């Protein structure tokens, strides 16, 4: 499988009903032969859900153009992992 999302943490506050889920998003690129792993955090409360992606280990010393394109590549790959996990019945 080229991508997946694994639940690694779940917390629920019994008093408020607020929930926090942390998933590790993984995507393997057959073209570059690299594996990207980042955390997706979903917070739920009485108003709905909010999602955040933690970007760790982003390469340093890139030009502005290289940094923007690297981020675009990572976001695209993370999107594939999210869609593959949440569009399955």
Cα–Cα distance between 41 and 44 in angstroms, integer? Answer: 10
Domain boundaries, given as residue ranges, for the chain = 2-87
According to DSSP, the β-strands at 34-45 and 19-29 are antiparallel
Report the greatest alpha carbon distance in the chain: 48
Q: What pLDDT was estimated at residue 89?
A: 67
Q: What pLDDT was estimated at residue 1?
A: 57
Q: Is residue 69 within a helix (H) or strand (E), and if so which, with residue range?
A: helix 64-86
**Tokens 């942390």 belong to residue:** 22
Q: What pLDDT was estimated at residue 34?
A: 92
Q: What pLDDT was estimated at residue 16?
A: 96
Cα–Cα nearest to 24, from 10, 46, 41: 41
89 residues of the chain, pLDDT tens digit each: 589 999 999 999 999 999 999 999 999 998 889 999 999 999 999 999 999 999 999 999 999 999 999 999 999 999 999 999 999 76
- Kindly provide the b/e burial profile for residues 13-30, where b requires at least 16 CB atoms within 10 angstroms of the residue's own CB: eeeeeeeebbbebbbbee
Q: What pLDDT was estimated at residue 32?
A: 86
Cβ-based neighbour number of residue 53 at 10 Å: 16
């Amino acid at each position: 499988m080229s991508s997946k999302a694994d639940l690694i943490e779940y917390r629920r506050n019994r008093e408020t009903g607020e929930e926090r889920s942390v998933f590790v998003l993984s995507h393997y690129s057959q073209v570059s032969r690299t594996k990207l792993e980042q955390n997706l955090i979903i917070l739920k409360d009485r108003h709905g859900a909010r999602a955040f992606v933690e970007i760790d280990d982003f390469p340093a010393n890139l030009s502005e153009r290289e940094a923007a394109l690297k981020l675009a590549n990572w976001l695209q790959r993370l999107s594939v992992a999210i869609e593959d996990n949440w569009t399955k019945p």
